[in-house]
Amino acid sequence: MKKPTYYITTPIYYSSGQLHLGHCYTTVICDALARYKRMDGYDVFYLTGTDEHGMKVQEIAQKLGTTPQKYVDGLFEDIVKLWKALGISYDKIIRTTDDYHEKTVQKIYQILLDKGALYKSRYKGWYCTPCESFWTESQLVDGCCPDCGRPVHEEEEESYFFRLSDYADKLLQLYKDNPDFISPKSRMNEMVNNFIKPGLKDLCVSRTNVKWGIPLSFDPKHVAYVWIDALSNYITALGYLQDDNANFAKYWPADLHMVGKEITRFHTIIWPALLMALDLHMPKQVYGHGWLNFYGDKMSKSKGNVAYPLPLIDRYGADAVRYYLLREIPFGSDGSYTDDSFLGRINTDLCNTLGNLVSRTTAMITQYFGGKVPEPQQYTDLDNQLIDTINGAKQAISQHIDMLNVPEALADIWKILNRANKYIDETCPWTLAKDQAQKGRLQTVLYCLEESIRVSAILLAPFLPHTAQKIYDKLTLGKLPKNFKDAVFGRGKAGKTVVKGDNLFDRLDINKELKIMQDMRPKATEKTEDKAQQSADKATDNGEITIEDFAKVQLVTAKVLSCEKVEKSDKLLVLQLQVGDERRQVVSGIAQHYSPQYLVGKTVVLVKNLKPVKLRGVESQGMILCAADDKDVIFVTPEKEMDGGKTVR
């Protein structure tokens, strides 16, 4: 019989910096769902990818003195490594710089033009480079981007527009006919009330001042707007408008686009309107999940408010990270990462509940039955309670997965584990073992326990694939099954060998780990500023300084004569500066933002009378001024060309 299909996608990840733990949330959730659906008998296609065009990539590459292509190639490798480390089982990973994607996006624009869905006009508006989004004056919040709060700049240019305003009624009808199209429900209300009801404006879908993008075949000085380029990935990856479109025929429309809440708008307004213009079917559902915050604050690199996945995976294992992401954050809502909650989940759920059950069970079978699963005898009421819990889990998980509620699906498995641990305390196998007359009872008890861990391993497979396989190895059952058929009490065979082996999860010394975690976190760039602020605050009540205080700081222009990397440091550059008649050497932590050759010849602003310090053994005679935000550090330069040595006031 032909399997039903299930097409699930993550958004494609911006190739403009290192991914943090929050990014992994989307891929891990989708991975668990994809693995579950495969085991549930679906023919699954799980797509993820990278979003590689746009102004931001162009700017970063320029600053680093490399080409955009080389820059995104490097990041792509890192992303692939990260997904591998986390055990992400995608069927395809698309890059928007892939040739087939670029060609198909050009064809999509041509179709839109031919159908009259595009027209040429002039665009004037506010652009947020980090979000690659245009905003109207009224949408700005305090003059900044309403999505990320960062500054925007005004842009005016000739552009192609997509007639998005034609689609308001059709979109409302789509939502009405498909009440689950936007989930959770609260996000649907947000889209309707905040975006559709106030009136949809036509969307500017081409740029002339961005070079790093897909040129439009009918007007090559224009490149495709990144969001149209990016959204199209969901169909170009399947072969839409390509010679081999078998996957498109088979998997489209998507069953689920899983996206973060901040990009729900793009997926539930622009994307369906675009599909309507192309006469394609609508995806079945867009789920806008909540954010993983960091101690209650938005994850931010510059504030040091960020957790990175690889150090956590290296130290605690991929499944500890997967479990945390899948279990800790109430689905649909925001959650908050803390070191304590991360370590707590490992010690309590993974080590105490799961690990102990497995090690106690395998140890007792080894000790009392020479490592062979014993034949069960008569089941008592107590055994039947455990058996009911084991057999009830599959159905409960399936209901939770239908609602995409992964944390509750995991809780269903933990019901088995908790019940089985309690069962050990209730049956006291070590007492039964002392009495020869109780041998039959002991056989039954240990068989019930072995079945608890065998069934749990199968049910755990989509969520914690590595741990599930380890349990299966301890039960010498070979490779995990490809479906849930055997996740039923009684399918395990007596006589099978079990081995105790290593612990699944070692118990952690929380205080020791908290210190280690602090050390492995990248230091906040803002912390030094905070300290400076604190001492300033001590000097005066409200941190204000007088003009005399300020006059003590000698700020001057300086020309960069030469620049090179500081040995054994990936952050520091050493710059030789011409300051009037004087030469100065300054060490600056901007190596990740600028290539040495880019800086040569530039004019910078130097704090001239700072006490010299040694950084990595290299003397720094002053400091150059930089502006910093979450992702970027930009050196300050006079608005017009100026010689070195001029006073800055």
- Which residues contribute to the site for ligand MSP (CB under 6 A)? 11-14, 22-23, 25-26, 51, 230-231, 259-260, 262-263, 291-292, 299
Collapsing DSSP states into helix, strand and coil, what is residue 379?
coil
Strands (E) across 98-231 are located at 118-128, 133-135, 153-162, 182-183, 203-204, 206-207, 215-216, 219-224
| Complex with ligand MSP: residue 26 or 268, whichever CB lies closer | 26
| Complex with ligand MSP: residue 93 or 230, whichever CB lies closer | 230
Least Å distance between CB 298 and ligand MSP?
7
**In 10 A of CB 10, how many CB atoms?**
26
Kindly state the helix (H) or strand (E) to which residue 13 belongs, with its residue range: strand 5-14
Q: φ, ψ for residue 124 (rounded to 5)?
A: -135, 125
| Complex with ligand MSP: residue 360 or 521, whichever CB lies closer | 521
Least Å distance between CB 10 and ligand MSP?
7
| Complex with ligand MSP: residue 309 or 644, whichever CB lies closer | 309
Least Å distance between CB 330 and ligand MSP?
13
| Complex with ligand MSP: residue 14 or 594, whichever CB lies closer | 14
Least Å distance between CB 126 and ligand MSP?
19
Least Å distance between CB 215 and ligand MSP?
20
| Complex with ligand MSP: residue 210 or 259, whichever CB lies closer | 259
Strands (E) across 92-152 are located at 92-95, 118-128, 133-135
Are 196 and 213 in contact, with CB atoms under 8 Å apart? no
| Complex with ligand MSP: residue 95 or 222, whichever CB lies closer | 95
Least Å distance between CB 11 and ligand MSP?
3
Least Å distance between CB 581 and ligand MSP?
48
| Complex with ligand MSP: residue 49 or 622, whichever CB lies closer | 49
Residue 271 carries which side chain, given as an amino acid letter? Answer: W
Rounded to 5 degrees, what angle do the CA atoms 22, 24, 29 make? 110
Are 212 and 55 in contact, with CB atoms under 8 Å apart? yes
Residues forming a β-bridge with 413: none
Q: Which two tokens stand for residue 408?
A: 């509750």
Written as one string, the DSSP assignment of 154-174 is EEEEEEEEE-GGGGHHHHHHH
Are 607 and 625 in contact, with CB atoms under 8 Å apart? yes
Are 645 and 558 in contact, with CB atoms under 8 Å apart? yes
Are 309 and 86 in contact, with CB atoms under 8 Å apart? yes
255: nearest Cα among 525, 427, 7: 7
Least Å distance between CB 14 and ligand MSP?
4
Rounded to 5 degrees, what angle do the CA atoms 556, 557, 563 make? 120
**Cis-peptide, bond into residue 184, ω within 30° of zero:** yes
- Tell me which residue has its CB nearest to ligand MSP: 260
Least Å distance between CB 17 and ligand MSP?
9
Q: Give the side-chain half-sphere CA count within 13 A for 91.
A: 18
Least Å distance between CB 321 and ligand MSP?
14
Q: Helix, strand, coil % (nearest 5) of the chain?
A: 45, 20, 35
| Complex with ligand MSP: residue 52 or 412, whichever CB lies closer | 52
| Complex with ligand MSP: residue 43 or 91, whichever CB lies closer | 91
